[in-house]
A and B are shown apart, each in its own frame.
Chain A
Amino acid sequence: MSEHDQHMAELREIVAEVLEVEPEEVADTADFVEEYEADSLRAIEILARIEKKYKVEIPQAELNEMRSLKAVHEVVARYAGWQD
């Protein structure tokens, strides 16, 4: 598994757990709010879990961007220095 795929799988698991769906139900570009009825509390929980797992700090201002798995990956990659 490439580093990119590995990170996506880990993030998918975090998002699925918080949104209370199965990981395979989380499509890469599906909008958390529209598809899974996520609210701002769920978004903060996703952010907090990511910060804990990867030991990064992501400003809350980025929450608006983090509306799909793909978008989450992009934001985390920027702050964690991922090259994938």
Chain B
Amino acid sequence: MRLEHAELRALLPHRYPMLLLDRVEAVEPGVSLEAVKTVTGCEPCYRGIAEGEPADRYAYPASLLIESFGQGAAVLWLLSRRPGTAGLPMFTAARECVLLRPAYPGDVIRHRVRLDQVVDGAAFASGSSWIGDDKVAEFGSMMAVVRPVDAIARAS
């Protein structure tokens, strides 16, 4: 199963500038997912960088890479739940994450996500991110919990 961008928007509450996935290439609900995030030079994280700054200033921020992977995990979890289940996943903890090399504008990042465990209102995912054949990050354990939609709306 493949999900185009419009379908992602229907699943995830995130919007610009924090919707950090472009497409889901393949998903086996309850098991695994492969999602794509394309980094471009016009993203807000590159705004305001002064002229002549060194090339590594354009490394894609680790926090956004982790969030992007987490959104892939959220899609996988959402598609694995019973239809009509209420509440949104909220990312709560990342453990044993290793960033191996930075991504730059022009890179297409592929997240390979596995859903490891779901316990009453909490889910754990793991996996890795790739640019071509290069592994850019490993994610040992990402945890999310379900929160009621109205509680999230109130907090924001």
A contacts, CB < 8 Å to B:
17, 41, 44-45, 47-48, 51-52, 59-60
Chain B interface mostly: strand
B contacts, CB < 8 Å to A:
92-93, 95, 116-117, 119-122, 124, 143, 145
- Taking the closest CB of chain A, its distance from the CB of B79, in whole angstroms, is 20
- Asked if B121 and A41 sit within 8 Å, CB to CB, the answer is no
> With A and B bound together, what is the CA distance between A17 and B145 in angstroms?
19
Q: Which residues of A contact B119 (CB under 8 A)?
A: 44, 47-48, 51, 60
> With A and B bound together, what is the CA distance between A41 and B116 in angstroms?
18
Q: What are 23 contact pairs spanning A and B, CB under 8 A?
A: A17-B95, A41-B93, A41-B143, A41-B145, A44-B119, A44-B121, A44-B122, A44-B145, A45-B93, A45-B122, A45-B143, A47-B119, A48-B117, A48-B119, A48-B122, A48-B143, A51-B117, A51-B119, A52-B116, A52-B117, A59-B120, A60-B120, A60-B121
> With A and B bound together, what is the CA distance between A48 and B117 in angstroms?
8
Q: Which residues of B contact A47 (CB under 8 A)?
A: 119
Q: Which residues of A contact B124 (CB under 8 A)?
A: 48, 52
**With A45-B93, A60-B119 given, can you name 16 additional A-B contacts, CB distance below 8 Å?**
A17-B95, A41-B92, A41-B93, A44-B119, A44-B122, A47-B119, A48-B117, A48-B119, A48-B124, A48-B143, A51-B117, A52-B117, A52-B124, A59-B120, A60-B120, A60-B121
> With A and B bound together, what is the CA distance between A45 and B117 in angstroms?
11
